[in-house]
Chain A
Amino acid sequence: MDLNNMPLLAALTKKMNWLTARQKVVTENVANADTPGFKASDLRPLDFRKELAQVTHSSSPKLAPTTTDPRHLIGTEAAARLDPEAEKVTTDRDINGNTVSLEDEMIKVSDTTSDYQLMTNLYKKQVGLIKTAIGRSGS
């Protein structure tokens, strides 16, 4: 049984993919905190409520990437359209053109980690429910 055929689990997986991609972007920001001229970037926020509504209330749950141009390729991963988007320039811009605020980035790191933990816990719970349903002791 492919667990990703279940709408809730698919949505959770998508959010986890997004969080992983965001962690990568934030890591790049932190790593380049001293690089002259580096512009901080962030991912477009994922609307989890919308994603969940899309997968739970439609007859054919789809998590395929939206294409805005006929030449766009449809990726195999649901996270394919998560391209980093340049963030607004903050006021504390360094004299060397670097726009990374280490404090903001560290907050994002802890946000991402705790959100990820929330997602894995929900995933575990859901799998536990399925296990209970099929007659094994769920955790």
Chain B
Amino acid sequence: MSNFDDALKTSASAMTAQTLRLRTISENIANANSTATSAGADPYRRKLVTFKNVLDRETGANMVKVDHIVPDAAPFEMKYMPGHPAADGNGYVRMPNVNPLVEMGDLREAQRSYQANVDVISATNTMISRAVDLLRS
């Protein structure tokens, strides 16, 4: 059974990692218009998730973990809004470096990976129940 258990654990770790990625993406989308409140301050900076492969010493399974959540170094977009409290001397406001289109693409990718892991779990479960069914023959 240990191989089955390892398979289930590995899928679960990947699902946890993808969920954290999904959370970061939703934070980015939610804050797509979060500007600073005072002139000169930075607006919301987009966050990125990196994954890493971790060998579980106990079971020897290749688990997935979120390595780091890193800020995106891309420059902020400037928008002309002279009346805004965060506007600089020329009337420009720094907007977050979030591109909703890119976020939606990432979201879809995370969703697909999550789905693939769910499918693998249900396939593994089918195999386990087949093995258990041998008792009934």
Contact = CB atoms under 8 A, between A and B. Distances in A.
* Residue of B61, B109, B124 most packed against chain A (CB within 10 A): B124
Contacts, number: 102
A34 B112 CA distance: 11
* Residue of B116, B127, B133 most packed against chain A (CB within 10 A): B127
B11 to A, nearest CB: 6
A24 B7 contact: yes
B14 A30 contact: yes
B61 A28 contact: yes
B114 to A, nearest CB: 10
B137 A139 contact: yes
Interface string A102-122: 100110011011001100100
B127 A32 contact: no
B11 A34 contact: no
B127 A31 contact: no
A109 B109 contact: no
A4 interface: no
A24 B7 CA distance: 5
Interface in A52-88: none
Interface stretch (B23-31, B47-55, B70-78): B47-55
Given A20-B4, A31-B117, A120 B123 contact: no
A120 B113 contact: no
B126 A32 contact: no
Contacts of A120: 130-131, 133-134
Nearest to A39: B53
Q: Is the interface of A mostly helix, strand, loop or mixed?
A: helix
Interface residues of A, number: 33
A113 B112 CA distance: 21
B43 to A, nearest CB: 28
B34 interface: no
A111 to B, nearest CB: 10
Interface of B: 3-4, 6-8, 10-11, 13-14, 18, 21, 50-53, 61-64, 109, 112-113, 116-117, 119-120, 123-124, 126-127, 130-131, 133-134, 137
Given A24-B7, A27-B120, A123-B134, 14 more contacts: A20-B4, A30-B117, A31-B13, A32-B53, A34-B21, A34-B64, A35-B64, A38-B53, A110-B123, A113-B123, A113-B126, A117-B126, A124-B134, A128-B137
